[in-house]
Structure 1
Amino acid sequence: LSFERRSDSKIVVQVEQNYVPSDSKNLAYKAAQLMTETYGVQQGVTITIDKGIPVSAGLAGGSTDAAATMRGLNRLFGLNRPLSELCNLGITIGTDIPFCIYGKTAICKGKGEIIEFLNKPPSSWVIVAKPSVGISSPDVFKRLNLEEYHEVHT
């Protein structure tokens, strides 16, 4: 992602891929809107996104974009807000955004607001294979019945 100040108050999202929304459905847009409204930022921003994480794969790609936007605008506009405060804001638009804001190895509990940091794992390669079918994280969690499960092994 890259961020550029605008001379107006608009939030503009530019995406390289035509299948990624560039309007208010985009989590980076929502994050920018949340930041500008919360902190009274009058200046607009152009956010350019070149997706590196497969879309609709359950890999937090949209949340990562939102987290990067929050951290980027915090710096761009000199807001100097602590990461913990950004996390409290971010969770209002996505439960895994706080995890993405910190960008560290962690286990998240609750709705994503309880973060337990872990030691960094050894370096390794990961191959991601994504089928053509996509999934929506909010839809998955709406259908998940946690009462059916007694213990989660991690």
Structure 2
Amino acid sequence: MTGELQRGRAHYERQEWTGAFRALSRADRAAPLAAGDLEWLAMSAYLIGRDDDYLRILERAHQAHLDSGERRCAVRCAFWLGFRLFLRGEVGRATGWFARAQRLLEGESRECAEQGYLLTPSWNSRSPPGSGRPPTHVRRELRISASAAATRT
């Protein structure tokens, strides 16, 4: 492990986002970061207002998770990409990421928290304006996903 990677992780753990971003970026330039470190780099970018860097780095984390067979981690990255793009008003790109995440979850034999994440877009599109609550069937699905995730931790 390089000194920059260690420094970046230490900055991140102390919630020193600018220091984490700088050190992890230097470590990434020296040798491509692993998926988990890419997620930390992406979050650091987000927390210091570097939104485009956040999206670009999170896309790399998504692919790194796929390459290492960590489908659920890849789904989480895809969800956060879609969610951020949706908040930026880039609905087309957001929808693409949500669809990608959904495809990755197809064939999952067990309920998981990531399935609950993917209910968020349907919640927003099906809720009565101003209600702030998901429809009854979405709340039920969220409870099932949360319960399944809780029993595995």
Normalized against structure 1, the TM-score is what? 0.27
Higher strand share: 1
Normalized against structure 2, the TM-score is what? 0.27
Higher helix share: 2
